[in-house]
């Protein structure tokens, strides 16, 4: 069995060849087998499950495939990609995410009759419990970023999900890291899972560098990157740190937005990603959950403003650059303790090197972070810039006027004469209790 001819023809027009993970899983998925696809980030996992899934869908108005994503952003992105391919077969795709109006989503399910539903676990369970989402004729469950969803902390929710699903179900899991307990998943969904692993954990085209900086110099470096229009995705471990740095960057007139702030609406977060992809933002600040699965073409630089403590987190951050075999740069900013812990966590598989020994900011020798940032901006791989066509006007940053310094002949400094004060003004300014 092969991919649908219509989809296959389009794929051959847009791509030279299938990626290793696509070639490895397509036949298994078309045949209805349950698999665990393990491949590096940026290796084409989305189309690895999208094309065989669409091939297997029958022409009726029933939900036939359910796809789970760990974040709202990734669920929206997946639904957009799948919808773009599904239109070739007149199939409908719908996303179910928190932050959107639940009643409207329920009405849309009844009205549109999608064959594919992409959602987050929480909202999907809500729709199943209410009866708005019916999975009687479901053929398959696909879990993207499976290492973030299929975890012991979510056992209760996953057991609820399994209770709604048919017994004869195809289960397809995809991840960039091997952190999934397949034995547990087999017991949970009642399906034997076939492991399919291809490629290295992290592409060899990505450079891993670190720079010693304190918190103040870290912000200055980000400001300079923005002023040099060096586009970068900047990661933080906490929302509080992200908000503080974003405020400083905006004060410095850097074109910046963020994803990962819980107070932001889904629309604003989607808008930030859209503007960043169009090149109308220089820096996009993110936390790990919000940036999972972000597919930004030709992103040259990822900055870890706060260095992650887990190898799995580092791998997922790394995957935002160097996608599809292209070059990428990871710059880790932190102190000696941060970098030492990162090296220990990553092990010998990662060639983590200082960005440039002459640019290291040491405790006793102050190095200008502006110079460091200029060098980083010039060294990062530069994407081919397209003409920017904004859907809405973007205010230009005010130009900073630099006044020329006046050249003044040095003259000996004359002592200033002490002004004589009259008796009337002598005590002026003193408190009443000090006046004689």
Q: What is the full per-residue pLDDT of the chain (436 aa) written as tens digits?
A: 589 999 999 999 999 899 999 999 999 999 999 999 998 777 889 999 999 999 999 989 999 999 999 988 889 889 999 999 999 999 999 999 987 889 999 999 999 999 999 999 999 999 999 999 999 999 999 999 998 899 999 999 999 999 999 999 999 999 988 878 999 999 999 999 999 988 666 667 788 999 998 888 899 999 988 888 889 999 999 999 999 999 999 999 999 999 865 545 666 777 888 899 888 999 999 988 766 667 777 888 999 999 998 888 888 888 788 776 678 899 999 999 999 999 998 888 788 888 764 333 333 233 344 544 554 555 455 544 444 444 444 444 554 444 444 433 434 444 445 555 555 555 555 455 445 4
pLDDT at 288: 83
Instruction: Quote the CA–CA distance of 283 and 274 in Å, as a whole number.
Output: 13
pLDDT at 413: 40
CB atoms within 10 A of CB 395: 7
> What does the DSSP assignment read for 137-184?
T--EEEETTHHHHSSGGGHHHHHHHHHHS-SS-EEEEEESS----HHH
Contact 171, 193 (CB under 8 A): yes
Contacts of 424 (CB under 8 A, 6+ apart): none
pLDDT at 59: 86
pLDDT at 230: 87
Task: Note the pTM of the prediction, 2 decimals.
Answer: 0.68
Residue bearing tokens 């932050």? 99
Contact 211, 218 (CB under 8 A): no
Show me where the domains of the chain are located.
5-197, 206-379
- Residue closest to 255 by CA, chosen among 285, 300, 235, 292: 285
Instruction: Quote the CA–CA distance of 303 and 285 in Å, as a whole number.
Output: 9
Structure tokens at 283: 């820096």
Second-level CATH architecture of 5-197: 3-Layer(aba) Sandwich (3.40)
pLDDT at 73: 82
CB atoms within 10 A of CB 31: 11
Give me the residues paired with residue 389 across strands: none
Instruction: Quote the CA–CA distance of 243 and 247 in Å, as a whole number.
Output: 6
pLDDT at 261: 56
Cα end-to-end distance, the chain, whole Å: 107
pLDDT at 422: 52
pLDDT at 292: 67
Per the document, the length of the chain is 436
pLDDT at 398: 52
Second-level CATH architecture of 206-379: 3-Layer(aba) Sandwich (3.40)
5-197 shares its CATH topology with 206-379: yes
pLDDT at 315: 85
């Amino acid at each position: 069995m092969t991919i649908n001819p219509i989809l296959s023809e389009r794929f051959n027009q847009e791509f030279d060849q299938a990626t290793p993970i696509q070639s490895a899983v397509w036949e298994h998925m078309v045949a209805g087998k349950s698999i665990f696809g393990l491949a590096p980030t940026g290796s084409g996992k989305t189309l690895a499950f999208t094309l065989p899934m669409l091939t297997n869908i029958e022409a009726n108005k029933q939900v036939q495939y359910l796809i789970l994503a760990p974040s709202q952003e990734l669920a929206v992105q997946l639904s957009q990609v799948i919808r773009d391919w599904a239109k070739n077969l007149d199939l409908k795709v719908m996303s179910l995410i928190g932050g959107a109006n639940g009643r409207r989503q329920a009405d849309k399910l009844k009205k549109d009759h999608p064959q594919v539903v992409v959602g987050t676990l929480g909202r999907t369970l809500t729709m199943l419990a209410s009866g708005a989402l019916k999975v009687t004729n479901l053929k398959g469950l696909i879990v993207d970023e499976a290492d973030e969803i299929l975890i012991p902390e979510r056992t209760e929710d996953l057991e609820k999900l399994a209770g709604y699903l048919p017994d004869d179900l195809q289960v397809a899991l995809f991840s960039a890291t091997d952190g999934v307990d397949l034995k547990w998943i087999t017991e949970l969904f009642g399906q034997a899972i076939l492991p399919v692993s291809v490629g290295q954990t992290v592409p060899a085209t990505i450079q891993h560098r670190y720079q010693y900086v304190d918190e103040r110099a870290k912000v200055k470096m980000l400001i300079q990157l923005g002023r040099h229009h060096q586009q970068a995705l900047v990661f933080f471990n906490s929302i509080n740190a992200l908000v503080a740095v974003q405020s400083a960057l905006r004060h410095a007139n850097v074109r910046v937005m963020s994803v990962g702030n819980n107070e932001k609406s889904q629309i604003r977060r989607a808008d930030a990603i859209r503007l960043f992809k169009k090149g109308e933002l220089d820096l996009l600040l993110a936390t790990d959950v919000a940036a999972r699965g972000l597919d930004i073409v030709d992103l040259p630089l990822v900055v870890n403003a706060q260095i992650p403590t887990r190898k799995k987190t580092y791998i997922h951050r790394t995957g935002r650059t160097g996608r599809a075999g292209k070059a990428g740069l990871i710059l880790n900013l932190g102190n000696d303790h941060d970098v030492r812990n990162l090296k220990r966590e990553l092990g010998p598989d990662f060639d983590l090197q200082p960005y440039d020994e002459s640019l290291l900011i040491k405790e006793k020798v102050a190095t200008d972070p502006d110079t460091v940032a200029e060098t980083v901006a010039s060294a990062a791989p530069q994407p081919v810039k397209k003409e920017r066509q904004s859907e809405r006007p973007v205010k230009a940053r005010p130009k900073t006027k630099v006044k020329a310094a006046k050249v003044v002949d040095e003259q000996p400094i004359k002592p200033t004469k002490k002004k004589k004060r009259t008796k009337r003004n002598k005590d002026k300014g003193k408190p009443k209790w000090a006046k004689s």
